[in-house]
Amino acid sequence: MELDWLLAIAALLVGLSKGGIPAIGMVAVPLLTLVLPPVKAAVLLLPIYVVSDVVGVWLYRHRFSAANLKILLPAGVFGVGVGWLTASHVPDRAIAFMIGAVGIGFCLNLWLRKDKGASPVPANPVKGWFWGSLAGFTSFISHAGAPPFQVYMLPQKLPKAEFAGTATIVFAVINAAKIWPYQHLQPYTAENLWSAAVLIPYALVGTVLGAYLTRRIADVWFFRLVQVSLFAVSVKVLVDAVFYA
Protein backbone atom coordinates (compact mmCIF):
# COMPACT_ATOMS: atom_id res chain seq x y z
CA MET A 1 0.00 0.00 0.00
CA GLU A 2 2.85 2.41 0.85
CA LEU A 3 4.48 1.66 -2.51
CA ASP A 4 1.20 2.30 -4.37
CA TRP A 5 0.83 5.75 -2.79
CA LEU A 6 4.46 6.66 -3.41
CA LEU A 7 4.17 5.59 -7.05
CA ALA A 8 1.02 7.67 -7.51
CA ILE A 9 2.64 10.74 -5.94
CA ALA A 10 5.79 10.26 -8.04
CA ALA A 11 3.72 10.05 -11.24
CA LEU A 12 1.81 13.20 -10.26
CA LEU A 13 5.09 15.06 -9.66
CA VAL A 14 6.41 13.96 -13.04
CA GLY A 15 3.22 15.27 -14.66
CA LEU A 16 3.51 18.61 -12.85
CA SER A 17 7.05 19.04 -14.13
CA LYS A 18 5.96 18.28 -17.69
CA GLY A 19 3.13 20.76 -17.33
CA GLY A 20 5.61 23.57 -16.80
CA ILE A 21 6.92 23.47 -13.21
CA PRO A 22 10.52 22.23 -13.64
CA ALA A 23 12.58 20.61 -10.87
CA ILE A 24 9.50 19.25 -9.08
CA GLY A 25 9.74 16.09 -11.16
CA MET A 26 13.25 15.52 -9.80
CA VAL A 27 11.71 14.63 -6.45
CA ALA A 28 10.09 11.54 -8.00
CA VAL A 29 13.16 9.30 -8.14
CA PRO A 30 14.41 10.16 -4.61
CA LEU A 31 10.86 9.54 -3.36
CA LEU A 32 10.72 6.07 -4.88
CA THR A 33 14.19 5.19 -3.62
CA LEU A 34 12.62 5.07 -0.16
CA VAL A 35 11.13 1.74 -1.17
CA LEU A 36 12.87 0.75 -4.43
CA PRO A 37 16.45 0.44 -5.71
CA PRO A 38 17.47 3.65 -7.57
CA VAL A 39 17.95 1.97 -10.95
CA LYS A 40 14.57 0.25 -10.77
CA ALA A 41 12.91 3.53 -9.78
CA ALA A 42 14.45 5.34 -12.76
CA VAL A 43 13.51 2.58 -15.21
CA LEU A 44 9.96 2.36 -13.86
CA LEU A 45 9.41 6.11 -14.25
CA LEU A 46 10.69 6.51 -17.82
CA PRO A 47 7.40 5.39 -19.49
CA ILE A 48 5.59 7.90 -17.26
CA TYR A 49 7.92 10.65 -18.41
CA VAL A 50 7.44 9.72 -22.07
CA VAL A 51 3.64 9.69 -21.90
CA SER A 52 3.61 12.98 -19.96
CA ASP A 53 5.98 14.43 -22.56
CA VAL A 54 3.43 13.89 -25.31
CA VAL A 55 0.81 15.92 -23.47
CA GLY A 56 3.34 18.55 -22.37
CA VAL A 57 4.67 19.11 -25.89
CA TRP A 58 1.15 19.50 -27.21
CA LEU A 59 0.31 22.04 -24.49
CA TYR A 60 3.42 24.12 -25.24
CA ARG A 61 3.63 23.51 -29.00
CA HIS A 62 3.47 27.26 -29.69
CA ARG A 63 5.57 28.54 -26.76
CA PHE A 64 9.29 27.81 -26.78
CA SER A 65 12.67 29.35 -27.56
CA ALA A 66 13.75 28.14 -31.00
CA ALA A 67 17.27 29.57 -30.51
CA ASN A 68 17.76 27.48 -27.39
CA LEU A 69 16.23 24.33 -28.87
CA LYS A 70 18.74 24.41 -31.73
CA ILE A 71 21.50 24.25 -29.14
CA LEU A 72 20.02 22.13 -26.36
CA LEU A 73 18.39 19.32 -28.36
CA PRO A 74 21.57 17.94 -29.98
CA ALA A 75 23.53 18.66 -26.79
CA GLY A 76 21.01 16.78 -24.67
CA VAL A 77 21.00 13.73 -26.96
CA PHE A 78 24.81 13.77 -26.92
CA GLY A 79 24.70 13.80 -23.11
CA VAL A 80 22.40 10.77 -23.13
CA GLY A 81 24.93 8.95 -25.31
CA VAL A 82 27.73 9.77 -22.89
CA GLY A 83 25.57 8.59 -19.99
CA TRP A 84 24.88 5.30 -21.75
CA LEU A 85 28.55 4.67 -22.48
CA THR A 86 29.69 5.51 -18.95
CA ALA A 87 26.71 4.29 -16.90
CA SER A 88 28.56 1.27 -15.56
CA HIS A 89 31.76 3.20 -14.79
CA VAL A 90 30.62 6.36 -12.98
CA PRO A 91 29.48 5.84 -9.35
CA ASP A 92 25.92 6.98 -8.66
CA ARG A 93 27.13 8.93 -5.62
CA ALA A 94 29.60 10.93 -7.70
CA ILE A 95 26.87 11.92 -10.13
CA ALA A 96 24.48 12.77 -7.28
CA PHE A 97 27.13 14.91 -5.58
CA MET A 98 27.79 16.81 -8.80
CA ILE A 99 24.08 17.41 -9.41
CA GLY A 100 23.49 18.67 -5.88
CA ALA A 101 26.58 20.90 -5.82
CA VAL A 102 25.74 22.55 -9.13
CA GLY A 103 22.14 23.24 -8.14
CA ILE A 104 23.00 24.65 -4.71
CA GLY A 105 25.85 26.75 -6.04
CA PHE A 106 23.71 28.25 -8.76
CA CYS A 107 20.86 29.16 -6.41
CA LEU A 108 23.18 30.73 -3.83
CA ASN A 109 24.91 32.75 -6.53
CA LEU A 110 21.55 33.90 -7.87
CA TRP A 111 20.24 34.92 -4.44
CA LEU A 112 23.39 36.46 -2.97
CA ARG A 113 24.93 38.33 -5.88
CA LYS A 114 24.64 42.09 -5.88
CA ASP A 115 23.68 42.52 -9.55
CA LYS A 116 20.25 40.92 -9.24
CA GLY A 117 18.90 43.42 -11.77
CA ALA A 118 21.31 42.23 -14.45
CA SER A 119 20.03 42.28 -18.00
CA PRO A 120 18.94 39.00 -19.61
CA VAL A 121 21.68 37.14 -21.44
CA PRO A 122 21.15 35.67 -24.93
CA ALA A 123 21.37 32.02 -25.90
CA ASN A 124 25.01 30.95 -26.01
CA PRO A 125 26.06 27.91 -28.11
CA VAL A 126 29.18 27.11 -26.04
CA LYS A 127 27.43 27.35 -22.66
CA GLY A 128 24.33 25.68 -24.09
CA TRP A 129 26.29 22.67 -25.32
CA PHE A 130 28.05 22.29 -21.98
CA TRP A 131 24.97 22.57 -19.78
CA GLY A 132 22.72 20.80 -22.30
CA SER A 133 25.09 17.83 -22.49
CA LEU A 134 25.28 17.73 -18.71
CA ALA A 135 21.47 17.83 -18.54
CA GLY A 136 21.23 14.86 -20.91
CA PHE A 137 23.89 12.98 -18.97
CA THR A 138 22.35 13.51 -15.53
CA SER A 139 18.88 12.86 -16.89
CA PHE A 140 20.06 9.49 -18.19
CA ILE A 141 21.60 8.59 -14.83
CA SER A 142 18.66 9.53 -12.59
CA HIS A 143 16.10 11.73 -14.43
CA ALA A 144 17.88 14.69 -12.82
CA GLY A 145 18.54 16.99 -15.75
CA ALA A 146 16.72 20.03 -14.36
CA PRO A 147 19.61 21.70 -12.45
CA PRO A 148 22.02 21.94 -15.44
CA PHE A 149 19.18 23.06 -17.69
CA GLN A 150 18.14 25.78 -15.28
CA VAL A 151 21.70 26.97 -14.67
CA TYR A 152 21.85 27.73 -18.39
CA MET A 153 18.30 28.99 -18.93
CA LEU A 154 17.41 31.10 -15.88
CA PRO A 155 19.91 33.92 -16.62
CA GLN A 156 18.12 34.46 -19.94
CA LYS A 157 14.98 35.57 -18.06
CA LEU A 158 12.59 34.26 -20.69
CA PRO A 159 8.82 34.65 -20.29
CA LYS A 160 7.61 31.83 -18.05
CA ALA A 161 5.57 30.06 -20.77
CA GLU A 162 8.54 30.15 -23.15
CA PHE A 163 10.83 28.87 -20.40
CA ALA A 164 8.41 26.05 -19.52
CA GLY A 165 7.81 25.14 -23.16
CA THR A 166 11.52 24.97 -23.89
CA ALA A 167 12.09 22.74 -20.86
CA THR A 168 9.21 20.46 -21.85
CA ILE A 169 10.43 19.98 -25.42
CA VAL A 170 14.08 19.52 -24.47
CA PHE A 171 13.35 16.81 -21.94
CA ALA A 172 10.79 15.15 -24.19
CA VAL A 173 13.55 14.60 -26.74
CA ILE A 174 16.04 13.54 -24.06
CA ASN A 175 13.58 11.03 -22.61
CA ALA A 176 12.81 9.61 -26.05
CA ALA A 177 16.55 9.19 -26.59
CA LYS A 178 16.79 7.16 -23.35
CA ILE A 179 14.25 4.48 -24.35
CA TRP A 180 16.53 2.16 -26.32
CA PRO A 181 19.58 2.51 -24.02
CA TYR A 182 17.43 1.80 -20.95
CA GLN A 183 15.99 -1.27 -22.66
CA HIS A 184 19.49 -2.40 -23.53
CA LEU A 185 20.91 -1.87 -20.02
CA GLN A 186 17.91 -3.22 -18.09
CA PRO A 187 15.16 -4.70 -20.27
CA TYR A 188 11.59 -3.83 -19.35
CA THR A 189 9.42 -6.65 -18.10
CA ALA A 190 5.68 -6.99 -18.52
CA GLU A 191 5.36 -6.18 -14.81
CA ASN A 192 7.33 -2.92 -15.25
CA LEU A 193 5.16 -1.82 -18.16
CA TRP A 194 1.93 -2.71 -16.38
CA SER A 195 2.99 -0.79 -13.27
CA ALA A 196 3.76 2.22 -15.45
CA ALA A 197 0.45 1.96 -17.29
CA VAL A 198 -1.49 2.08 -14.01
CA LEU A 199 0.26 5.35 -13.13
CA ILE A 200 -0.41 7.15 -16.42
CA PRO A 201 -3.69 8.79 -15.27
CA TYR A 202 -1.90 10.40 -12.33
CA ALA A 203 0.81 11.73 -14.64
CA LEU A 204 -1.72 13.12 -17.12
CA VAL A 205 -3.64 14.90 -14.35
CA GLY A 206 -0.36 16.35 -13.10
CA THR A 207 0.61 17.56 -16.59
CA VAL A 208 -2.65 19.43 -17.12
CA LEU A 209 -2.56 20.81 -13.57
CA GLY A 210 1.04 21.97 -14.04
CA ALA A 211 0.12 23.85 -17.24
CA TYR A 212 -2.86 25.44 -15.49
CA LEU A 213 -0.76 26.59 -12.52
CA THR A 214 1.94 27.92 -14.83
CA ARG A 215 -0.58 30.19 -16.55
CA ARG A 216 -2.05 31.38 -13.24
CA ILE A 217 1.12 32.02 -11.23
CA ALA A 218 2.71 35.47 -11.59
CA ASP A 219 6.14 35.45 -13.29
CA VAL A 220 8.04 36.47 -10.15
CA TRP A 221 6.44 33.69 -8.06
CA PHE A 222 6.84 31.15 -10.86
CA PHE A 223 10.62 31.62 -10.98
CA ARG A 224 10.86 31.72 -7.20
CA LEU A 225 9.07 28.36 -7.13
CA VAL A 226 11.50 26.98 -9.70
CA GLN A 227 14.50 28.24 -7.74
CA VAL A 228 13.27 27.01 -4.35
CA SER A 229 12.38 23.61 -5.83
CA LEU A 230 15.81 23.39 -7.43
CA PHE A 231 17.55 24.31 -4.16
CA ALA A 232 15.51 21.88 -2.05
CA VAL A 233 16.05 18.97 -4.41
CA SER A 234 19.75 19.78 -4.77
CA VAL A 235 20.21 19.75 -1.00
CA LYS A 236 18.43 16.41 -0.75
CA VAL A 237 20.54 14.89 -3.52
CA LEU A 238 23.80 16.24 -2.07
CA VAL A 239 23.05 15.05 1.47
CA ASP A 240 22.17 11.58 0.21
CA ALA A 241 25.38 11.44 -1.84
CA VAL A 242 27.54 12.40 1.13
CA PHE A 243 25.93 10.47 3.99
CA TYR A 244 24.24 7.45 2.43
CA ALA A 245 25.70 4.60 0.47
User: Stretch 171-178: mean pLDDT, rounded?
Assistant: 94
Per-residue pLDDT, 114:
64
- pLDDT at 74 > cutoff 80: yes
Domain ranges of the chain: 2-243
- pLDDT at 95 > cutoff 80: no
Q: Which residues, at least 6 apart from 91, have a Cβ–Cβ distance to it below 8 Å?
A: none
Higher pLDDT, 44 or 39: 44
Q: What is the model's pTM?
A: 0.79
Q: Measured between alpha carbons, how far is 20 from 74 in angstroms, rounded to an integer? A: 21
- pLDDT at 90 > cutoff 80: no
Output the DSSP codes for 101-120: HHHHHHHHHHHH-S-TTPPP
Nearest to 135 by CA among 151, 124, 159: 151
- pLDDT at 178 > cutoff 90: yes
The percentage of the chain sitting over the pLDDT mark of 70, rounded to a whole number, equals: 91
Q: Measured between alpha carbons, how far is 155 from 237 in angstroms, rounded to an integer? A: 23
- pLDDT at 2 > cutoff 60: no
Phi, psi (degrees; rounded to nearest 5) at 124: -125, 115
Per-residue pLDDT, 176:
95
- pLDDT confidence band for 175 (50 / 70 / 90): very high
User: Stretch 172-189: mean pLDDT, rounded?
Assistant: 86
Residue 34 CB: number of other CB atoms within 10 A? Answer: 10
Q: Measured between alpha carbons, how far is 184 from 186 in angstroms, rounded to an integer? A: 6
- pLDDT at 61 > cutoff 80: yes
Per-residue pLDDT, 215:
80
Average pLDDT along the chain = 83
Tens-place pLDDT, residues 101-154: 877 887 887 788 765 667 889 999 999 999 999 999 988 877 778 888 988 998
Per-residue pLDDT, 34:
67
